[in-house]
Amino acid sequence: MPEETIAEGLKKSGVSRRDFLKLSGLLAAAMGLTNVPPVSASGLPPRLGRGYSVNRVIAKALETRPRLPVIWLEFQDCAGCSEAITRSNSPTLVNLVLNTLTIEYHETLSAAAGFQVEQAKQDAMQRYAGQYILVVEGSIPVADDGVYCTVGGRTALDLLQEAAAGAAAIIATGNCASFGGLPKAKPNPTDAKGVWELITDKPVVNIPGCPAIPEATTGTIAHFAIFGTLPELDGLHRPMPFYGVTVHDRCLRRPFYEAGKFALSFDDEGAKKGYCLYKLGCKGPTTYNACASIRWDTGLSFPVQSGHPCLGCSQPDFWDGGGFYQGQSAPLDRPELAAIGAAAAAGAALGVGATLVNQAKKKAKGGE
Ligand code: SF4
Ligand code: F3S
């Protein structure tokens, strides 16, 4: 186990005690924590049991928990999830998680290159065997012996299996690593797959999105670093603090939806007044993600706020799931995932059902 504690790493990075306590609060908010996890699961000293504030528990954990190493691999991706990390809403949090807590190896952000960086990865996997978090960005092609994505002459599948073997847990960041994403869109020439389809003997957390919301990835890493456990997951392995509600649930256009006021084209009066985008194909009612609350680009906006319908980018098979810019949403979860995603699918179906009922009511009243 790495000897240095998280707090020692922070101190070395010049983080003051005051900032340290501020970060504890930031982390609590980022993880959506309202309750302290059971003491036995967190590994925290017994005196930090129930009754202590979450911030205080986190501050104590940062002082005692060892640094958590992270190895970040990229396969069939556009590096958009890594790019989004650099534009995060919480740069301090992201610095904390990625620079101080963690990163041992990142294919895009590592300063080293070539044999040197490959050796660094091998060293990290050996040194922290069984202890590191493996973050995967991008889907894994398995057609034709995986020849469509190779790094250093080895296939993505080979590299994934090697790194997964020593990981304590795996975080699939982005829709590609979670559900296959864009590379898996029909006709899926490379037979692209998500991590959880290929690695079944390790805990796999899915942080889908195109790209993934950086705070959801870093918040999940932080949860494991601090408590030694993963956050509660839904049926599609998505962390509940970030995927527990739909975009529609928190949407700032929701009052217009409830009032039956819809934009019917991108430049009509309704669009100018900020009306609901459902009739322009918004999939917010069936999409579980935190865009409407965390937002993007330092909290500036998110697609629906900027006038674009939600495309459902955190749902499985969103690219093939019923077309974009069409006035009806449809459940996007794949039939073969229905059993494990029953809760999410039921929620999605309810969202669509409620939407249709609402629309029918409005029409009956002559509202639009
Ligand atoms: Fe917002 Fe879309 Fe829901 Fe309308 S349908 S309230 S635009 S999420
Ligand atoms: Fe994706 Fe919809 Fe958010 S398209 S970025 S889940 S608003």
What is the value of pTM for the model shown? Answer: 0.79
The residue type of 337 is L
Indicate if the pLDDT at residue 208 is higher than 70.
yes
Distance, CA of 47 to CA of 302 (rounded, Å): 42
CB neighbour burial string for 127-162, b if at least 16 within 10 angstroms, e if fewer: ebeeebbbbbbbbbbbeeebebbeeeeebbbebbee
Atom of ligand 2 nearest to the CA of 213: 5
Position with higher pLDDT, 333 vs 88: 88
- For residue 251 and ligand 1, the question of a CB distance below 6 A is answered with yes
CATH number of the domain within which 185 lies: 3.40.50.700
Indicate if the pLDDT at residue 43 is higher than 60.
no
CA nearest to 274, candidates 298, 297, 257: 257
Please name which ligand lies nearest the alpha carbon of 250. Answer: 1
Q: Calculate the average pLDDT of the chain.
A: 79
> Do 119 and 211 have their domain in common?
yes
165-191 tens-digit pLDDT: 999 999 999 999 999 999 999 999 999
The pLDDT, as a whole number, for residue 309 is 96
pLDDT band for position 267 (cuts 50, 70, 90): very high
> Do 216 and 131 have their domain in common?
yes
Residue 294 lies in a domain: yes
> Do 78 and 189 have their domain in common?
yes
Characterise 191 by phi-psi region: left (phi > 0), alpha (psi -120 to 50), beta (else).
Answer: left
Residue 182 lies in a domain: yes
The pLDDT, as a whole number, for residue 93 is 57
The pLDDT, as a whole number, for residue 21 is 67
> Do 136 and 96 have their domain in common?
yes
**Chain-centre distance of CA 269, in angstroms?**
35
Q: Please give the average per-residue pLDDT across 198-212, as a whole number.
A: 97
> Do 237 and 270 have their domain in common?
no
> Do 99 and 220 have their domain in common?
yes
Residue in the structure block whose two tokens are 């900027």: 306
> Do 92 and 214 have their domain in common?
yes
> Do 226 and 94 have their domain in common?
yes
Residue 132 lies in a domain: yes
> Do 71 and 193 have their domain in common?
yes
Residue 39 lies in a domain: no
CATH number of the domain within which 268 lies: 4.10.480.10
pLDDT band for position 88 (cuts 50, 70, 90): low
Position with higher pLDDT, 107 vs 29: 107
Position with higher pLDDT, 1 vs 138: 138
The pLDDT, as a whole number, for residue 200 is 97
Q: Please give the average per-residue pLDDT across 344-358, as a whole number.
A: 37
CA atoms within 13 A on the CB side of 150: 10
CB neighbour burial string for 16-39, b if at least 16 within 10 angstroms, e if fewer: eeeebeebbebbbbbbbbeebbeb
- For residue 263 and ligand 1, the question of a CB distance below 6 A is answered with no
- Show which of 198, 214, 242 is a domain's final residue: 242
Lowest mean pLDDT among 23-37, 65-79, 81-95, 134-148: 23-37
> Do 231 and 124 have their domain in common?
yes
- For residue 174 and ligand 1, the question of a CB distance below 6 A is answered with no
Indicate if the pLDDT at residue 40 is higher than 70.
no
- For residue 291 and ligand 1, the question of a CB distance below 6 A is answered with no
User: Which stretches of the chain are assigned E, i.e. beta strand?
Assistant: 70-74, 103-106, 132-137, 140-141, 150-151, 154-155, 167-173, 192-193, 204-207
* Cβ–Cβ under 8 Å, residues 295 and 302: yes
> Do 90 and 168 have their domain in common?
yes
The pLDDT, as a whole number, for residue 58 is 72
The partner residues of 196 in beta bridges, in order of sequence, read: none
- Show which of 193, 216, 242 is a domain's final residue: 242
- Show which of 209, 242, 275 is a domain's final residue: 242
Q: Please give the average per-residue pLDDT across 41-70, as a whole number.
A: 61
- For residue 314 and ligand 2, the question of a CB distance below 6 A is answered with yes
102-146 tens-digit pLDDT: 667 777 767 667 788 888 889 999 999 999 999 999 999 999 999
Residue 347: CB atoms within 10 A of its CB come to 22
Indicate if the pLDDT at residue 41 is higher than 50.
no
> Do 297 and 215 have their domain in common?
no
* Cβ–Cβ under 8 Å, residues 324 and 298: no
Atom of ligand 1 nearest to the CA of 254: 6
The partner residues of 296 in beta bridges, in order of sequence, read: 301
Count: domains in the chain: 2
Please name which ligand lies nearest the alpha carbon of 213. Answer: 2
The pLDDT, as a whole number, for residue 251 is 97
The pLDDT, as a whole number, for residue 228 is 85
Q: Please give the average per-residue pLDDT across 341-353, as a whole number.
A: 36
* Cβ–Cβ under 8 Å, residues 254 and 292: no
pLDDT band for position 299 (cuts 50, 70, 90): confident
The pLDDT, as a whole number, for residue 107 is 75
The pLDDT, as a whole number, for residue 96 is 59
DSSP alpha helices (H): ranges in 277-341?
Answer: 291-294
Position with higher pLDDT, 285 vs 15: 285
Percentage of residues of the chain with pLDDT beyond 90: 48
Q: How far, in Å, from the CA of 210 to the mean position of ligand 2?
A: 7
- Provide the residue range defining the domain that includes 327: 245-338
